[in-house]
Amino acid sequence: MMGPSHALSGAAVWLTGSWAMAQFADYHQTPLALAVGTAVCAGGALFPDLDLSGKVTRNQGGATVARTFGVVSLFVAEVVEKISLGVYYATKLSKDPRRNNGHRTLTHTIPFTVLVGWGTTALCAHYGKWAVVGILFFMIGLALRGLFDKWAERAGWVVVTLVSAAAAWFTFANLPGDRGYPMIGLAVGVGCFVHILGDMITRAGVPILWPIPIKRRMWTMIGLPNKIALRTGSKAETVVLRTAMTILSVLAAVGLVAPSVLQRFDIQV
Ligand SMILES: [Zn+2]
């Protein structure tokens, strides 16, 4: 799947989940908390593709996510890709094929998802608002890249970086202090997981079972069979899937925000 579809799926899942929590578990969030969770989950849904590096020196190639903060994030992507490839070789069994690129390996596994979610939660618990502002800056940047890809492309990474910094600062200034913010860790983890599911419906598949060895393979790629798999960048993805996810997000957002708006104007339904 392409970057924008991943980001959109993260936003759709978070909004729908929040709506379900409000509806069935009576768990309500403030509009700011909702916006933060949605942005972080959309950004998290791009995070695993930080293993798709391009040509750093020539400033080209790489996944949507690798381009977010210009050369800095391209460099990070290069490092993540090499580490992933290292882990691949360190854990590979005799039937696992040789490879020369780490894309769709370590960062597309359940242990990685859990680690990122837990790490984010630990950072927020330990450093409070200061961790939150850093994580938000990073995740909002990714979300902007994904959700407003055409705009981000035109604006360039400097503008994307400035807008993320401003949004992170605004949130920082308005968030209640002295808390752990566990929802941010959850949103990052859920985002990563949604990304893996998104890649599973494409042909190449992902090593979702790692590190469970199957038939002398540690990195079994699991995905839909070729016949029904989604082709990356096809109409089914860019039109059908994205429209469906946009509608879902809008419906969930309206369902979440409408009751409090109606209440404010004292309108009974
Ligand atoms: Zn991916």
Residue-wise pLDDT tens digits, 107-158: 999 999 999 999 999 998 888 888 888 999 999 999 998 888 888 888 888 8
- Whole-Å CA distances, 6 to 29, 88, 166, 193, 223: 24, 24, 24, 11, 16
The dihedrals phi and psi of 23, each to the nearest 5 degrees, come to -75, -45
Sorted by sequence, the CB contacts under 8 Å of residue 219 that are 6+ apart come out as: 88, 91, 92, 96, 105, 207, 210
CA of 200 to the centre of ligand 1 (A): 9
253 or 59: which carries more pLDDT confidence? 253
Cα angle: 123, vertex 126, 128; to 5 degrees = 85
Gap from CA of 225 to ligand 1 centroid (Å): 17
Least confident range of 94-98, 203-207, 256-260: 256-260
CA of 120 to the centre of ligand 1 (A): 20
Residue 198 CA, ligand 1 centroid: distance in Å: 8
Could you tell me the distance, in angstroms and rounded to a whole number, from the CA of residue 237 to the centre of ligand 1? 14
Whole-prediction pTM:
0.87
Q: Can you tell me the distance from the alpha carbon of 139 to that of 185, in angstroms, rounded to the nearest whole number?
A: 11
- Contact status, residue 99 vs residue 77, Cβ threshold 8 Å: no
Q: Residue 220 C-alpha to ligand 1 middle, in angstroms?
A: 15
pLDDT band at 59 (very low <50, low <70, confident <90, very high): very low
Q: How far is the CA of 49 from the centre of ligand 1 (A)?
A: 5
Phi, psi values for residue 172, rounded to 5°? -55, -45
